[in-house]
Every structure is written in C-alpha cells, then in structure tokens.
Amino acid sequence: MRKLIAGLFYSVDGVAEAPDQFQFDSFDEELSALMDQTISSIDTVLMGRVGFEQWASYWPNASQDLDFAEFINGVPKYVASETLTPPLAWSNAELIEGDLLDFVRRLKNQPGGDIAAMGGLSLVRQLLLAGLMDELVLIMHPVIAGKGRHLFGPDDPTTRLELKNMERTSKGNAILTYSRRAD
C-alpha cells in the first residue's frame, strides 16, 4: 500500500499558512536535504482548491526554487474541489470525481510511490482525521507568527498521534514526524 504524507512549515504558535511570511532565514541545508529526499519518493500530489489556485498561478512560471518547480509542474496532481470545473489550466492536474476519501483509499491501493497532500490545510486536516494520513511532518520554525491559519481548530476531535521521529536543524528548526496512534 502506498504511503500518504503531508509536510507543513509551522510556527511555534501553530500557524501553518503562508510560511513565506514567517520562515525568514530559518530555512537551512538540512531542510533543503529533507525536501529533496521527500520529493524523490513522491509520484502523486493531492491538493485543495485554494492551494491549487495559488500554486497554479505561481509554479508554472517560477523564477526561483527551480528544482521544486520542475517537480510540482511535472507530477500528477489531483484536486479536491466542489467549485472548479475541468479542464484545469495547470499541467498534469485533474479534479477528483466523487467522494474524496473513497478516491484516496483507491489511490493508496494502486501501485506507485508516496502520495503527498500539498497546498491545502483543510485537505490535510480532513485526511488525517479520517485516518488516511500515514505521516504528518511538522517543520517547526523558531518563530511566533502571530497571525495566520492553523491546521487544527477548536471543533476538531481529540486525535491521538505517535511521534515517529524528531530532528533539530542547525538553525533551530524542529522536524517532527507523526502518525495516527493505533488504539
């Protein structure tokens, strides 16, 4: 079975939206190596509508982070949306038809590499709470963002996680890898 993963840049106060607004100079060599290692195992990406629209307007013409641009422009992307209509304007992107959770279950049972949930906090939250996320990697930057969306909200159910791995980078980032705890 294929593994479904998500990696989020995170602030100490739990902000996961717009890391370019709080990441500053904390991106280091270790994070770069982690990104390279992670994308080398991914051959499919799941996206939410908002993230898809933001990324589709930027990555096809990106002038920096060209390794990631090459990856994200070339990889098959499946988009969860109830408002977008085909065809999607970004290469290798198509809408998920039918129930998202059923689609992801089927996708995980197909042959292939890792599947990554990217560009969608609500998508990551929904997949994790549904028990479909195999790994959630939080890359905690040593900063308090002060404002921005959080991954989880006050109405989310209590969900037990297991810390699978923990690393500290040279610039003080904490890389925390979680899975859902099997109770």
Distance of CA 8 to the CA centre of its chain: 6
Residue 17 per-residue DSSP state: S
Banded pLDDT at 107 (limits 50, 70, 90): very high
- The band of 121, judged by pLDDT with boundaries at 50, 70 and 90, is very high
Q: At residue 161, does pLDDT exceed 90?
A: yes
Q: Is the pLDDT of residue 137 over 80?
A: yes
Nearest to 38 by CA among 134, 137, 128, 105: 137
- Tens of pLDDT, residues 20-75: 899 989 999 999 999 999 999 999 999 999 999 999 999 999 998 889 999 999 99
Average pLDDT rounded to a whole number, residues 111-117? 97
Using alpha carbons, list the distances in angstroms from residue 87 to 61, 69, 83, 96, 161. Answer: 19, 21, 12, 12, 38
Dihedral angle, C-alpha 62, 69, 133, 44, nearest 10 ° = 130
Which of the four pLDDT bands, split at 50, 70 and 90, describes residue 101? very high
Q: Give me the architecture of the 4-180 domain, per CATH.
A: 3-Layer(aba) Sandwich (3.40)
User: CB–CB of 5/116 below 8 Å?
Assistant: yes
